[in-house]
Amino acid sequence: MRRLSFATAGAILVLSLSAWAIRVGDPAPDFTGTDSHGQTHRLSDYRGKYVVLEWTNKGCPYTRKHYDSGNMENLQKEWTAKGVIWLTVLSSAPGEQGYMTAAQENSFMTKMHASPTAAILDPTGAIGHEYEAKTTPDMYVIDPSGKLIYSGAIDDHPTMDLADIKVSKNYVSAALEAAMAGRTVPVGYTRPYGCSVKYASE
């Protein structure tokens, strides 16, 4: 009983000291989502692994830059092979650009040879709002202890030009490499670039 009240007091203390918003270095908020195969995923399920969250919208020219060039698919293959959980998140509201049904998303992934661990369908935008996802693409990297270690742009060339991918520094790979090697992530936060996430209008 004493342990419980201590834990409650501690929880209140922690809660009262934390800000509302997403901050690199803080624990990443837990979420529950359903993927395009109907499976449920919880962030807490993946404690102990690196998790990458990738906000996407297949109609956005910035997203297309990374998918048409194969860049995003390569990243997904490279990092899932190293045990990273890669979750693509679709927060477009029904009727907005980027909204996909489960079947549509599955066929899109097959066509583009995309291989994330799962594609989470978030048409209400709940997960997007929780993470304050602003653009597509907007990338978040979470370490095995549940801490957010990177939030922001996918790379340092905020353009729509496919040619820029070769010369861009990829922030997601940089964060994962550094964290896996036990070093501090050099760049934890950048301004994400892309089209705005098409949330349902309030």
Partner 1 sequence: MPSGNRLFFVFALLAALLCAWAANAQEPSRAEAKAPHVTVSLLIPPAQIYPGERFTAGLDFRMEPGWHVYWINAGDSGEPPKAQWKLPAGITADALQFPAPKRLPLGPLMDFGYEGEVIFPVPMQVANDYQPTGKQATLGAHVSWLVCREVCLPGKGDLSVERDAFAASLGAPQVDAATQAEIAQYESKVPKPLPAGDAVRFRSTARGFVLDVETGTREDSAQFFPLDAMVIVNAAKQPAQPLNNGVQLSLTKDDNLQATSQQLNGVVELPTGEAYVIHATPGSLTSGGAGKVGNSGGLAGAAGLAFLGGILLNLMPCVFPVLFIKGLALVQSSQQESGRLRAHGWVYTLGILVSFWVVVAVLLALRAAGQQLGWGFQFQSPIFLALMAMLLFFLGLALAGQFEIGLSLTSAGGSLAEKHGYAGSFFTGVLAMVVATPCTAPFMGAAIGYALAHSAAVSFTVFTALALGLAAPYLLLAYNPGWTRLLPRPGAWMEVLKQAVSVPIFATVIWLVWVFARIAGTDALFGLLVAFLLLAIAGWCLGRWPAKWSSAIAAAAVLLAAIGTSVWAVRAFGGETVRRATVIFRNGSRVQGPETATEWQPFSPALLTQERSEGRPVFVDFTASWCLSCQVNERLILNRSDVRQRLHDSGAALLRADWTNEDPDITHALAALGRSGVPTYAIYPADPNAIPHVLPEVLTPGIVLDALNSLGNPPRQSARVAVQ
Q: State which of positions 114-153 bind partner 1 (CB under 8 A).
A: 129, 132, 134-135, 151
* φ/ψ of residue 166, rounded to 5: -60, -35
CB distance 55 to 89 below 8 Å: yes
Q: What is the DSSP string of 28-41?
A: PPP-EEEETTS-EE
User: Minimum distance from CB of 98 to partner 1 (Å)?
Assistant: 9
Taking the C-alpha atoms of residue 36 and residue 106, their distance in angstroms, rounded to an integer, is 7
Q: How far is CA 101 from CA 119, 133, 158, in A?
A: 11, 20, 29
Q: Is 60 in the site for partner 1 (CB under 8 A)?
A: yes
Residue closer to partner 1, measured from CB, 118 or 141 = 141
Residue closer to partner 1, measured from CB, 26 or 45 = 26
Structure tokens given for 68 = 């048409």
Q: Is 28 in the site for partner 1 (CB under 8 A)?
A: no
User: Minimum distance from CB of 39 to partner 1 (Å)?
Assistant: 27
With residue 127 as reference, give the H or E element that holds it: helix 126-131
Q: Is 184 in the site for partner 1 (CB under 8 A)?
A: no
Q: What is the largest CA-CA distance in the chain?
A: 62
Indicate which single residue of 1, 17, 81, 167 sits in contact with partner 1 (rule: CB under 8 A). Answer: 17
**Sign of the torsion angle spanned by Cα atoms 51, 104, 93, 196:** positive
* Among 9-17, 42-50, 69-77, 100-108, the segment contacting partner 1 (CB under 8 A): 9-17
User: Minimum distance from CB of 71 to partner 1 (Å)?
Assistant: 17
Indicate which single residue of 21, 103, 167, 181 sits in contact with partner 1 (rule: CB under 8 A). Answer: 21
CB distance 171 to 150 below 8 Å: yes
Angle at 144 between CA 100 and CA 133, to 5 degrees: 35
* Among 70-78, 100-108, 111-119, 156-164, the segment contacting partner 1 (CB under 8 A): 156-164
Q: Is 190 in the site for partner 1 (CB under 8 A)?
A: yes
Q: Is 201 in the site for partner 1 (CB under 8 A)?
A: yes
Binding site for partner 1 (CB under 8 A): 12-13, 15-24, 59-61, 96-97, 129, 132, 134-135, 151, 158-160, 188-199, 201-202
